[in-house]
Structure 1
Amino acid sequence: MQMRFELKMKCWILLLSVLDFLSLVVCSCPAPCYCNFNTVYCNNMDLTEESLPVAFPPSTDIIHLSQNILTTLPNGIFDGLLDLQEVYLQHNPWTCDCNILYLRSWLQKQQNRKLYRDVVCSSPPSLRGRLIMYLTEDEVLSTCQYWHCSLALICQLCLFIFIILQVILLLLVIIFLRRFQRISKEARSSTKEIYQNTDSYTYNDGYSLSHYSRK
């Protein structure tokens, strides 16, 4: 009787342990992917860098990311996965600019390079079809410099437009001030003429009255 009780207890403990392990696996699987033991399937899900899981289970050894619309990967996304052996990355429109440096560095550290022969650049046109792991640092940095040059050109253009607007505003202020001065001058001249005419009328009226009184 006691042996049956101990056997049942062991079975229950084993069952609870299995359920606990399964719940842990399910909870740790990142959405929208699904997991099977230590393999994470995120392929063919139209994932972008924004919708890609920010982290994977620490025990992950295989990740499927193929057939998505990934153009780059977040820096350090694979760094904490010590058991990681394979990542399927083919059939994604990779953009080989400054943001591809992390993926390039990670690929160059992998021993099984045959697995990554289909991981190629889709843009820019000058690097289209090139294997990412064989890109030189100068080739990647040249796209960064082009981007910085474009940004600098846009900033200079905005600054030039701002200066032109300031000059136009200054000219409008000068024109307004000159018109105001001319109007003020004309107003002063009109006021002076009115005073002169008033004095002349006063003098003539006084002269006429004195002449009439003498008579």
Structure 2
Amino acid sequence: MMKSPLLVLLLLFLSCEGQSSCPVVCSCHGGTVDCSGRSLTSSTLPATFPADTTELLLHNNLLTTLPNGLLDSLPHVHTVSLHGNSWACDCGALYLRAWLLGHPIRHNHLRVNCSSPLKLRGRLVVFLTEEELLDSCHYWYCDLALVSQLCLLGFVLLQGVLLVVVIVFLRRIRDTNIRYSKCPLT
């Protein structure tokens, strides 16, 4: 008889465990998750939100980027408020731009403005081209690859020079030995 209440409790626990609860820094009422005006940064932004979220309020924070995929895990969301943040319109804004473009234009999309870089300040994220965002990307790994290739080329050239030096040295030794072997001992 004791097994069935434990089984019910276990099933309840497992079914609730898959649902994410309201983030500590936010307040939740029904399907609305309100994280607005909490001085959240891109690093202090909660990683997950409840799966049943229909409205996500992230306005008036210190956000500069959104983590890739953050909004994709919210299938029921119909309103996301993002205005009043200092959006950095660089490589990190590619996800935000793609998400905004993938959802019908809403009035609150028209208040998501770039704060940096200077040449894009004030522009609406939703109207930026991909090229404008990619222009500000620093592909340090390309520089690293170039430096690595140049080092490899230098190493191969050094090995080639050393090989030539060894061959010349061995030929001189061989020629010297041949001369001494032809020379009669007196």
Fold conserved between structures, TM > 0.5: yes
Query: Counterpart amino acid of 1:109?
Result: G
Deviations 1:137-164 (A, max 9, x none): 11111111xx237x949x97xxxxxxxx
**Residue in 1 aligned with 2:104?**
111
Where do 4+ consecutive residues of structure 1 move more than 6 Å? none
Question: How far has the Cα of 1:113 moved from its partner?
Answer: 2.7
Match of 2:139 in 1: 148
5+ residue gaps, structure 1, are 1-19, 157-215
Q: Structure 2 residue aligned with 1:73, among 63, 66, 72?
A: 66
Partner SS state of residue 28, structure 1: coil
Q: CA deviation at 1:110?
A: 1.4
Alignment partner of 2:115 out of 119, 122, 127? 122
Give the aligned residue type for 1:85. H
Question: 2:121 aligned with 1:134, yes or no?
Answer: no
Q: Deviations over 1:153-203 (max 9, x none)?
A: 9x97xxxxxxxxxxxxxxxxxxxxxxxxxxxxxxxxxxxxxxxxxxxxxxx
Give the number of the structure whose residues are more often helix, by fraction: 1
1:151-190 aligned at under 5 Å gives the runs 152=143
- Does the 8 Å CA contact 2:40/2:61 hold for their aligned counterparts? yes
Higher alpha-carbon Rg: 1
Rounded to whole Å, the distance in 1 between the matches of 2:133 and 2:113 is: 13
Q: Say which of 45, 50, 53 aligns to 1:52.
A: 45
Equivalenced residue count is 130
Greater mean alpha carbon deviation, residues 135-144 or residues 112-121: 112-121
TM-score by length of 1: 0.56
Instruction: Tell me the alpha carbon deviations over residues 50-102 of structure 1, each in whole angstroms, 9 at most, x when there is no partner.
Output: 11010000000001100100000000001111100001000100000001000
State the one-letter code of the partner of 2:52: S
Aligned mates of 1:148, 1:28 — CA distance in 2 = 38
Q: CA distance change for structure 1 residues 137 and 112 in 2, over 3 Å: closer, same or farther?
A: closer
Corresponding residue to 2:21 among 16, 25, 28: 28
Q: CA-atom RMSD, angstroms?
A: 2.5
| C-alpha distance in 2 between matches for 1:56 and 1:127 | 30
Distance 1:60 1:138 in 2: 33
CA contact (8 A) 2:83 2:108 kept: no
Structure with the larger RCO, 1 or 2 (CA within 8 Å, 6+ apart): 2
- Which letter maps to 1:60? T
